[in-house]
Amino acid sequence: MKVLTIIGARPQFIKAAVVSRAFKEHRPDVQEIIVHTGQHYDANMSDVFFDELEIPKPDYNLGIGGGTHGQNTGRMIEKLEGLMMEVQPLWVLVYGDTDSTLAGALAAAKLHIPVAHVEAGLRSFNRRMPEEINRVLTDHIAEILFAPTETGRQNLLNEGIAQEKIKLVGDVMYDASLFYKEKARKPHLPAELNIEGGDFVLCTIHRAENTDDSQRLKNIFQGLGDSGETIILPLHPRTRAKIADYGIAIPENVWVIDPVGYLEMVWLEANCRLVATDSGGVQKEAYFFGKPCVTMRDETEWVELVEAGWNRLVGADAQAIENQVGCEVPEAAWQSIFGTGRSAQVVVEEICQLSANKPSEVH
């Protein structure tokens, strides 16, 4: 059985690596073919990246990236269609909510190849976000939908998707966090920065709704500065450029460092006191490591974390950011919201079982 896995961004490689290991360990009879669309060029994705994280290298790299959402998606569909016709996979496996996700799902659907969607059912209910459009369309194309949480499963049911297509499996990123925690390493930090005892806040800022709005970005840095906390900010190059364009002064308590690799990021998440971010993935990873999170967005697709008291939405309100980043950690019980750490194995088992039970429906 051939499974064509389509990925286009660095976080997707980490998610796919967990499932790839599960295929090799539990179903070595499955031939997985990995395609990198090239959507996100990342200089950190060198041989070292794949070797250190034990990630299989792509069988194909389509080299598509750098254009608009429409340009990229259209070019991806064209190349993926040709590749699918050549490879003839039994399944196409996609992850998350990138343009690569949607392109893979559309190309497969046109060729009547069933799609399996990992991380299905997430909703921010903000249709201005390209990711939201990608999620919704991919979910309605997919033949099997792997929801990471009960909320995700309910979202799919509310949209009229058949119950038998939805599988509540937990989150493969929780599997990844358990696997990589033992391999994490401390990043290079300024010698004068004393963070012994984990008394620091980890911050990331990259989302366009914040970086493309000068007032929002100024408010965020004002709130971070007024909190008085020691804040470590691995700064995305795009955010760095916007800060310069807007003439924003970095507060003295905010320590800007270069972007870090995944293993260094895991170390920072595991050793900080609190996380402040606008990233969807980092919100989850904070919870995986038992850290409260302040989310500098107006909504989140991970509503379970807000309801559980581990995530606090503050938007770009300077006063709210100051108050929440500087406050005491709330006493909230940690629950297994995202599964037991074997989500990837369940994904593999479900795909193989569906293939065995319904061979006539899979072409």
Indicate if 154 and 302 belong to the same structural domain.
no
pLDDT at 198: 85
pLDDT at 50: 81
pLDDT at 45: 53
Indicate if 7 and 137 belong to the same structural domain.
yes
Establish whether 206 is a catalytic residue.
yes
For residue 148, report the phi and psi dihedrals to the nearest 5 degrees: -80, -20
**H-helix or E-strand spanning residue 282:** helix 280-288
Indicate if 233 and 322 belong to the same structural domain.
yes
The length of the chain, given as a count of residues = 363
Residue 156 domain flag: yes
pLDDT at 322: 97
pLDDT tens digits, 288-317: 999 999 999 999 989 999 999 999 999 999
How far apart, in whole angstroms, are the C-alpha atoms of residue 94 and residue 73?
Answer: 14
Q: What six digits make up the tokens of 171?
A: 């989150």
pLDDT at 47 over 90: no
Q: What six digits make up the tokens of 303?
A: 């509503």
Cα–Cα nearest to 186, from 260, 282, 267: 267
Residue 148 domain flag: yes
pLDDT tens digits, 196-244: 778 999 999 999 899 999 999 999 999 999 999 999 999 988 899 999 9
pLDDT tens digits, 71-81: 999 999 999 99
pLDDT at 53 over 90: no
pLDDT at 331 over 90: no
At 216, is the secondary structure helix, strand, or coil? helix
Residue 138 domain flag: yes
- Place 46 in a pLDDT band, splitting at 50, 70 and 90: low
Indicate if 20 and 100 belong to the same structural domain.
yes
Q: What six digits make up the tokens of 321?
A: 């950011």
Domain count for the chain: 2
Indicate if 34 and 110 belong to the same structural domain.
yes
Residue 159 domain flag: yes
Indicate if 321 and 344 belong to the same structural domain.
no
b/e string for 29-63 if b means 16 or more Cβ within 10 A?
ebebbbbbbbbbeeeebeeebeeebebbebebebe
Indicate if 9 and 46 belong to the same structural domain.
yes
Per annotation, catalytic residue among 112, 206, 236, 363: 206
What is the mean pLDDT of the segment spanning 332-361? 86
Query: Which residue range forms the structural domain that includes residue 235?
Result: 201-326
Q: Which residue has the tokens 């490689």?
A: 13
pLDDT at 3 over 70: yes
- Place 363 in a pLDDT band, splitting at 50, 70 and 90: very low
Indicate if 125 and 268 belong to the same structural domain.
no
Residue 302 domain flag: yes
- Place 128 in a pLDDT band, splitting at 50, 70 and 90: confident
- Give the number of other Cβ atoms within 10 Å of residue 334's Cβ: 10
Number of C-alpha atoms within 13 angstroms, CB side, residue 186? 9
Residue 132 domain flag: yes
Instruction: Tell me which of 41 and 38 has the higher pLDDT.
Output: 38
Indicate if 165 and 17 belong to the same structural domain.
yes
Percent of the chain with pLDDT over 70: 95
Lowest-confidence segment of 35-44, 91-100, 125-134 by average pLDDT = 35-44
Indicate if 353 and 322 belong to the same structural domain.
no
Q: What six digits make up the tokens of 232?
A: 């470590």
pLDDT tens digits, 245-256: 999 999 999 999
Task: Please provide the average confidence, as pLDDT, over all residues in the chain.
Answer: 92
Cα–Cα nearest to 152, from 164, 136, 137, 141: 136
Using an 8 Å Cβ cutoff, are 4 and 35 in contact?
A: yes
Residue 58 domain flag: yes
pLDDT tens digits, 147-194: 999 999 999 999 999 999 999 999 999 999 999 999 999 999 988 898
Distance of CA 355 to the CA centre of its chain: 27
Residue 183 domain flag: no
Indicate if 137 and 227 belong to the same structural domain.
no
What is the mean pLDDT of the segment spanning 120-132? 91
pLDDT at 122 over 70: yes
pLDDT at 65: 77
Using an 8 Å Cβ cutoff, are 314 and 320 in contact?
A: yes
pLDDT at 130 over 80: yes
CATH of the domain at 265: 3.40.50.2000
Pairing of strands 274-277, 293-295: parallel
Indicate if 242 and 357 belong to the same structural domain.
no
